[in-house]
Structure 1
Amino acid sequence: MNDKKIEDELKKIWDEVPISHSDSEKEASWEEFQSKAFTAKKPKFKVWRYAAAAAVLIFVLIGTGIYFNRDPLDQNILAASTVIENTTTKVKTVFLPDSSKVELSSNSKLTYANNFKTNRKIEIEGECYFKVQKDKKHPFQVFCNETTTTVLGTSFTVKGNAQKEVTVALFEGSVEMSVKNQDKKWILVPGETFTYANNTAAVTEFERFTDFENEKLTVLSDYIKTNYGYKMIFPQEYINQRITVRINKKEDLKTIVQLISEMYNLNFEINEELKVITFQ
């Protein structure tokens, strides 16, 4: 096969592969490839060299077509994936392969690829609270309905429903929000909520702290029981003791317990089976 026939065959392959570019873009890219592959100054190549070039050309074009045609929400979770559901009425805590922590609310589900440490993308249904481990080389993204939350190292909640509404509340750090088929980005700071409903996005503020102003320890104990499911037991002489403290609504329970322990110089023991915290 002479050079002219080989060039004609490659041009035919180039034109026939379905990719998401206009005819003018396709023609311009062909001319660039042609000028490099078929210059007059080039010595004659053996046929197998051109065959190899054709094979690479097909691979690149098909790969490009997949990249531009695939919906971003379809490429985040591969066939080999892990699915975790919470069918109970209690919050379910899950630690991901990168040690990030997720709290699944009742009737919620998350899906992530088995190569999660290098492909930190998650799809969720329902409501989840995330506390993400930082990894600058591998961005952490959460897909919910038509929104994407790109994590910049933080803790936040994502909630979606069957009506395609999504709410993201940021407690610590920073996240970037984006919506399918929209170029605009939203950067949230702690204490802000991103809401997407009826094709409209909005950012509002919320109170991310719970304040206890000169309250009895029993009031704090009731708060812990309601929000964390643990009962706190204090020595009898501390029943009427009062406390002033500000708590992040998504603070780790152990951090709160250690704070109380240091404030009143008390030791503590946590019984995970009975979900009881005893101070002494």
Structure 2
Amino acid sequence: MNKENLDEEFKKLWNETPSSHSESTKEASWEEFQAKAFPKKRKIKLWRYYAAASVLLFVLIGTGIYFNNNSITEKAVLAGNVIENTTQKIKYVVLPDNSKVELSPNSKISYGDNFALNRKIEIDGEAYFKVKKDKQHPFQVFCNETTTTVLGTSFIVKESNQKEVTVELYEGSVQMNVNGQDQKWILKAGEKFIYGNQTAAVTAFSRFVDFDNAKLSALGTYIEENYGYKVNIPQEYSTQKITIRINKKEDLNTIVQLIAEMYNLNFEINEDLKQITFQ
């Protein structure tokens, strides 16, 4: 993607800022961001927007889409590896191709021994996938009668007790197929595909959570409820106000590092105690 197209994509994301910000504030902040984000001969890995103690955070990963001229009519024969989550907590799995899976309770995935070359995986239940980009080997997820095909992106696939399948796309693009049907559905970030009773539909969903002039302690509570880590914030900072938009599937380390930079704090993550301490 050239600089002009990349510039346009960032501006689209920038304008998703919460409605409490005026158009003039968005435009002024965009111009400031653009000057900082694209200096000559400098690579930027994280983009941040500071305006009236507000921060809008987006992290982009490699994306891609795979088009198959023929509809997928049956599941691949999968064998060799079965991973099941029989606990009541999310199970974190790293696949042979370094793709990552967050496997929900009472769910399981299965894939073949040659997965790195034949990236086909079957799911029963629910899982969040963050796919390693590989143009030569498309990543396919089979769930009930549906097939999700991607190159590199992040999305959730879940199957209900009524055999209804839902795919929620957080970043990138995916192609959806249904067994026995020639039609293809192309999802964009922020769209979800629902299939049940031989009927398919595509609708929008909210992939962000907004904190609008909220206490910093409220963000700590959000981390605890959604990531399972208790957050300890110095008393003098707990009532500090923050405005931030976070992708609901944002990497925890990114959120923690951002808080530390904003308030000039150090932090320690204790994996054994599942605890984050700022100081």
Shorter chain as denominator, the TM-score bin is 0.7 to 0.9
Equivalent residue for 2:74, pick from 54, 72, 78? 72
Q: Which residue of structure 1 aligns with residue 266 of structure 2?
A: 267
Contact 2:73 2:180 in 1 (8 A): no
Which residue identity is paired with 1:167? T
Q: Which residue of structure 2 aligns with residue 203 of structure 1?
A: 202
- 1:20-53: CA deviation from partner (whole Å, max 9, x where unpaired): xxxxxxxxxxxxxxxxxxxxxxxxxxxxxxxxxx
The aligned length equals 208
Give the Å deviation of 1:259. 1.1
Which residue identity is paired with 1:211? D
Q: Which residue of structure 1 aligns with residue 139 of structure 2?
A: 140
Contact 1:125 1:161 in 2 (8 A): no
Distance 1:269 1:165 in 2: 42
Q: List structure 1 runs of 4+ shifted beyond 4 angstroms.
A: none
Which residue identity is paired with 1:208? R
Distance 2:73 2:131 in 1: 25
Distance 1:198 1:212 in 2: 38
Where relative contact order (Cα < 8 A, 6+ residues apart) is larger, the structure is 2
- 1:134-191: CA deviation from partner (whole Å, max 9, x where unpaired): 0000000000000000013100000013422100000001110000000000010000
**What TM-score results when the alignment is normalised by the length of structure 2?**
0.73
Matches within 5 A, 1:101-250: 101-250=100-249
Contact 1:170 1:192 in 2 (8 A): yes
Q: Which residue of structure 1 aligns with residue 5 of structure 2?
A: none
Q: CA RMSD in A?
A: 1.2
Distance 1:161 1:122 in 2: 18
Distance 2:145 2:239 in 1: 50
Structure having the higher Rg: 1
Q: Secondary structure at the match of 1:263?
A: helix
**What TM-score results when the alignment is normalised by the length of structure 1?**
0.73
Q: Secondary structure at the match of 2:152?
A: strand
- 1:96-120: CA deviation from partner (whole Å, max 9, x where unpaired): 0111110001100000111110010
Distance 2:77 2:277 in 1: 44
Give the structure with the higher percent helix. Answer: 1
Percent identical: 69
Q: Secondary structure at the match of 1:153?
A: coil
Give the Å deviation of 1:71. 5.8
Give the Å deviation of 1:72. 2.5
Which residue identity is paired with 2:214? E
Contact 2:137 2:151 in 1 (8 A): no
Q: Which residue of structure 2 aligns with residue 8 of structure 1?
A: none
Which residue identity is paired with 1:115? N
Which residue identity is paired with 2:166? T
- 1:248-275: CA deviation from partner (whole Å, max 9, x where unpaired): 0011111111111111111111000000
Distance 1:76 1:257 in 2: 41
Distance 1:212 1:169 in 2: 22
Uncovered stretches (5+) of structure 2, i.e. residues with no partner: 1-71
